[in-house]
Structure 1
Amino acid sequence: MDEYRKLFPATVWTPYRQLRQSSQVVFVSLNGLSPIKEDVFVTVPLPDHQGVYPFRLAFPRFVPRPVDLAYAEVQIPDGSRVVASGRTARVEDVTAIARKNLDDRIARISAKAIARALAKYAAAEAAQRAAKKSKNEGSRP
């Protein structure tokens, strides 16, 4: 115990006997909504042999939703008087966690979106060349 007292000198240490005589209320209030994930679309023009090919890319973003309740208050009555009371405090900011998670993954998500658009473009070009080749071969005598 002395080791911890040295490590954390500003901490007030309550003796175990005193703790046994006290009590603690833990009140969990699950309120508020997680943010909504929506796509933001960006169209990027790419010049090609036919003019300009428009790439449509989708990138996610989170839209926070407001919380109507700032806090909850818990009161412990004893007859006509309140013997103890307390307010809830935010423990987890779900919106901040979701944003951080998205920020950590956005480079990978963007790379996948660009690769997907390029693959679609390449597939469309290949199909167009195959159709043109088939049409040219079919028109020969």
Structure 2
Amino acid sequence: MVMIQPTLLSYSFNGPPQAALLDAESVRPDTILLLDTFFHVVVFHGETIAAWREQGYHEQEEHAAFRDLLEAPQSDAQLIMDARFPVPRYIVCDQHKSEARFLMAKLNPSVTHNSNLDDGSGGGGAQVNTDDVSLRVFMEHLMKLAVQT
């Protein structure tokens, strides 16, 4: 089932890991995402998390919660890989870096360069550069065709 519908978990300071939608709006600078596509296990660090890691906050004693946040998806990824044959490719990446494509390619492009980003909704998520339409637009067109006489 994971091959057909990959799983995405979101790790943040706000509580335990939560299931997240495979949508561009799930990508946030202050979260870590764990994507399991059966053949790939991707640990994706948001922009803020990656910057804090590069500055070495996880090595400081007063930032033990941040260190735990960094370790949680890695240990969960290891559990997934230990239980699977063939062993999936393990990828650790940061937002806006080249290997982030392994995650971004699996997401619904609900926020694209064609989206109206100034609608005042303040919706987050990462912008996906694609020619594909979002799932919402696809479903609207499908419903329109289904009810035509």
Normalised to the residue count of structure 2, the TM-score between the two structures is 0.24
Normalised to the residue count of structure 1, the TM-score between the two structures is 0.25
Larger strand proportion, structure 1 or 2? 1
Q: Which of the two has higher C-alpha Rg?
A: 1
